[in-house]
Amino acid sequence: MALITPFLVFFCVAAFLSLLFRKTRQDKFLENFSGPMRFPVIGNFWYFAKLEERLTQLVRCQAVYGNRTALPAGPFKFFFLFHPNDVAKILSNRELNKSVFYDMLFSNWIGSSIFYAK
């Protein structure tokens, strides 16, 4: 019994560390794009800490890092597109699986249509 406990603790710590530092396909994709400094566990949650500054932070993010920016936040992987052509391609694509955040944002706010101005 005394030998099993250290083995289980070691196994649990090793499993936790492997999950913490595992690179998924999404992580490797997001590494190709610039963005603000990421912290190991929380990612970029600090970037959206204040509700009233979120839009200002995104505008600043576009100015500094360009039209395609990666902002992973904890277990969520956010990829922001600021150029209208990129946004139109994503929103008009019926085959692309969009996240739950997309459904929450666009189902009540915009509906199922896309609009733009020239």
Domain range spanning residue 91? 83-118
Measure the CA–CA gap between 105 and 87, rounded to whole angstroms.
14
Question: Residues 95, 70: one domain?
Answer: no
Beta-bridge mates of residue 70: 79
Question: Residues 77, 113: one domain?
Answer: no
H or E, element range at 26: helix 25-30
Q: Is residue 9 part of a domain?
A: no
Measure the CA–CA gap between 63 and 84, rounded to whole angstroms.
15
Q: Is residue 45 part of a domain?
A: yes
Convert the pLDDT of each residue in 57-69 to its tens digit.
Answer: 888 888 999 899 8
Low-confidence residues of the chain: pLDDT under 50: 117-118
Model-wide pTM > 0.85: no
